[in-house]
Structure 1
Amino acid sequence: MKRVPVESSNLVSVGYDAQIGTLEVEFKHRRFYRYFNVPPDVFDALIEVNKSGKSVGTYFDLYVKKVGYRYHEL
């Protein structure tokens, strides 16, 4: 999966596979996670937050982690 670099103190890059609704996240501590059944608008908004200069980590925490999408470490 192709990932896009993001400006964040904790995240390095994010990628999305729309066919299967999977969000892939690379963290600065060199760990990779896949989150399942993530709607495309969540990924699109994450990219927009990154472009706007707002906190990518805060968005990720609120709209991915705290929502409780199933995930696993790669």
Structure 2
Amino acid sequence: MLHEPVRSSNLRSVGYDQAERVLEVAFHGGGLYRYENVPAEVHVALMMSSGKGGYLAQFVKGRYRYRLISG
């Protein structure tokens, strides 16, 4: 999955697979997380958000099943 670098104090990059509805988030601290069944509009809103870490915390974490891929 291709990741796009983002401007964030917490997030390093974000990747999304629309066919699989999978969101991947890499953090500056080294962790890479994969969130499952994430709608495309959530990914778009995350990428458009000026506060990506805050958006992730409010609208992704705790709402979608995830697993640590590396880190």
When normalised by structure 1's length, the TM-score is: 0.88
Query: Counterpart amino acid of 1:43?
Result: H
- The aligned residue for residue 57 of structure 1 is 53
Tell me by how many angstroms 1:46 deviates: 1.0
Q: Figure out how many residues of one structure are paired with residues of the other and give that number.
A: 69
More strand as a share of residues = 2
Query: Counterpart amino acid of 2:58?
Result: L
- The aligned residue for residue 12 of structure 1 is 12
Per-residue deviation, residues 15-50 of structure 1 (Å, max 9, x unmatched): 00000100000011111000000000000111111x
More helix as a share of residues = 1
- The aligned residue for residue 43 of structure 1 is 43
Percent identity over the alignment?
Answer: 46
Task: Kindly report structure 1 stretches of 4+ aligned residues shifted beyond 2 Å.
Answer: none
Separation in 2, partners of 1:56, 1:71: 17
Tell me by how many angstroms 1:65 deviates: 0.6
- The aligned residue for residue 3 of structure 1 is 3
Tell me by how many angstroms 1:13 deviates: 0.3
3-state SS of paired residue (2:54): helix
Gaps of 5+ in 1: none
Gaps of 5+ in 2: none
- Cα root mean square deviation, aligned: 0.8
